[in-house]
Amino acid sequence: MPSISYYQGRSALQNVQEALQAAKKYDKYHALLHLTEKRALERAAQVDNGAISGRLAGVPFVVKDNYLALDGATTAASRMLEDFETPLQATVIERLEQEGAICIGKTNLDSFAHGSSTENSAFGLTKNAIDPTKVAGGSSGGSAVAVALGIVPFALGTDTGGSIRQPASFNGVVGVKPTYGMSSRFGVVAMASSTDVMGCFALNGKDAELVTEIMAGNDPKDMTSLPDYFKPLEDVSSIGSLKIGMIGDFMTEDTDSGVRERVTEYVDSLKMAGHSVSTVKLPMAKYSLAMYYIIVPAEIASNLARYDGVRYGSRAKDTTTLDELYGLSRDRGFVAESKRRILIGNYVLSSGYFDAYYQKAQQARQLLIDEFDALFAEFDVLLSPVVPTTAFGIGENTDDPVKMYLSDAMTVGVSLAGLPALSVPAGNANGMPVGVQLIGQRKSDAVLFALAKSMEATDD
């Protein structure tokens, strides 16, 4: 599978044409919602004539269709935004373009990023790159599959509760969830503003780190973006021997035995590489799904209130009353999962229930953060599986939202605490990829990359 270096120093036009051809060849996976062919070819010509240069000159990539990006609609895989053409681009896309990268298309996702399988897209599901009878994972399923199929060497996704890490794990690629606030959220359709982060998929740690470095940095247009801090470590061996804690709560019988085996093997190779690994407890972890599915719907209900067919979003036709206009626009514009979350969110925020649910969940969130902080006082890195299972069958969990939510059990806590995490491939179980989650203290992203890269080298 060609990584970034394959594309560097070649004709940008050739790169773009090859990527477009591959996208068409793999059409049946439905990783892409549309191609940004016109703009990609224009930019390729500019790279080839020297008007644009940079560290990613002529390297093709794709973006999840909830990033505002030029050339065609930004739909968030929803009917609500199916005709929305953006006048501006997300800050992180601008940064990648300044380095010469070329976006060739927009990828499929669970509508508004609500889901764990990319089956909630209003435009049809995406299939897993390894086994097309299985789900892609989600919500950034299209981006993960595009990289796993080799259409492009990297892709952008968003991760609110696992949407980069989980599909990376399901398709055997590297997924990056940076520290909350490291890269700008400006120009990306908001899901839950207190946990949304912008990250990438790539084939190896080196590529993922380079893309992350370009995306990172303060943005005055995003109030929550942190001052610049991310800098890759020049020498991976400078991390020395790390103290790593394996989260025991995620290695119980609730996790598939094949997944546990691969994680255990990864732990063994960490030890062989000179790191110490011991099992640690994170007792609040068992409440993290409950917290997440209160706090995040509350933020979703607030963020999605703007899409009413009047202020934002497509408007229902032939309505006679204002109520009907709002009601029908939202009914048509949102998929069932988004409606469920809007209902839950408004419920937990309503007076009478606010204290019992939303407030409680925020208090529990603080306890979880305290537990993570206590562990990071002692350990450099924490480790766990990314998902309790490998990719499940298409349609297997669609009738049972709670079963679907279980897929997020090991990723949502990290999001609630704003921590950085990588999903790195760790072999297969029953023929399907398994990912290991490497978790760091806030702002320690560079250590995670160094560790992941050093382990890739050991694997060779």
Phi-psi region of 313 (alpha: psi -120 to 50; beta: other; left: phi over 0): left
* 71 or 408: CB nearest ligand GLN: 408
64 catalytic, yes or no? yes
Q: Least CB distance from residue 119 to ligand GLN, whole Å?
A: 11
The residue number whose beta carbon is nearest to ligand GLN equals 163
Phi then psi for 320, rounded to 5 degrees? Answer: -110, -25
- By three-state DSSP, how is residue 254 classified? coil
Quick one: tokens of 390?
């490998």
Contacting ligand GLN (CB under 6 A), which of 141, 161, 345, 433?
161
3 catalytic, yes or no? no
Q: At what angle do helices 445-459 and 257-272 cross, to 10 degrees?
A: 90
Spatial contact of 380 and 242, defined as CB atoms under 8 Å apart: yes
- By three-state DSSP, how is residue 386 classified? coil
139 catalytic, yes or no? yes
Q: Least CB distance from residue 162 to ligand GLN, whole Å?
A: 5
- Helix%, strand%, coil% for the chain, nearest 5: 40, 15, 40
Contacting ligand GLN (CB under 6 A), which of 78, 91, 163, 390?
163
Instruction: Using alpha carbons only, give the angle 92, 405, 134 rounded to the nearest 5 degrees.
Output: 80
| Cα dihedral across residues 425, 427, 432, 438: positive or negative | negative
| Cα dihedral across residues 459, 246, 201, 225: positive or negative | negative
Calpha distance 284→303 (Å, rounded)? 27
Q: Least CB distance from residue 122 to ligand GLN, whole Å?
A: 15
Contacting ligand GLN (CB under 6 A), which of 74, 78, 160, 288?
160
Contact map string, positions 86 to 115, toward ligand GLN, x by CB under 6 A: ---------------------------xxx
Residues between 176 and 205 that touch ligand GLN (CB under 6 A) = 191
Please give the size of the binding site for ligand GLN, defined by CB under 6 A.
14
Contacting ligand GLN (CB under 6 A), which of 18, 99, 159, 219?
159
Q: Which amino acid is at 107?
A: T
Across the strands, what pairs with 105? 35, 62
Q: Which of 111, 116, 121, 163 is catalytic?
A: 163
Contact map string, positions 62 to 81, toward ligand GLN, x by CB under 6 A: --------------------
Q: Least CB distance from residue 281 to ligand GLN, whole Å?
A: 24
The closest of 341, 360, 322, 448 to 401, measured between CA atoms, is 341
* 163 or 288: CB nearest ligand GLN: 163
Residues between 138 and 157 that touch ligand GLN (CB under 6 A) = 139
The closest of 134, 144, 125 to 63, measured between CA atoms, is 144
* 337 or 380: CB nearest ligand GLN: 337
Quick one: tokens of 331?
């009914």
Q: Least CB distance from residue 188 to ligand GLN, whole Å?
A: 11
- By three-state DSSP, how is residue 128 classified? coil
Phi-psi region of 382 (alpha: psi -120 to 50; beta: other; left: phi over 0): beta
Q: Which of 111, 139, 169, 184 is catalytic?
A: 139
Contacting ligand GLN (CB under 6 A), which of 72, 100, 162, 425?
162
Q: Least CB distance from residue 181 to ligand GLN, whole Å?
A: 16
Q: Least CB distance from residue 77 to ligand GLN, whole Å?
A: 12
Spatial contact of 10 and 58, defined as CB atoms under 8 Å apart: yes
Q: Which of 64, 106, 127, 177 is catalytic?
A: 64
Residues between 362 and 421 that touch ligand GLN (CB under 6 A) = 408
Block residue for tokens 């093709």: 60
Calpha distance 298→341 (Å, rounded)? 8
Calpha distance 429→169 (Å, rounded)? 12
Residues forming contacts to ligand GLN in the complex (CB under 6 A) are: 113-116, 139, 158-163, 191, 296, 408
By annotation, the residues acting in catalysis are: 64, 139, 163
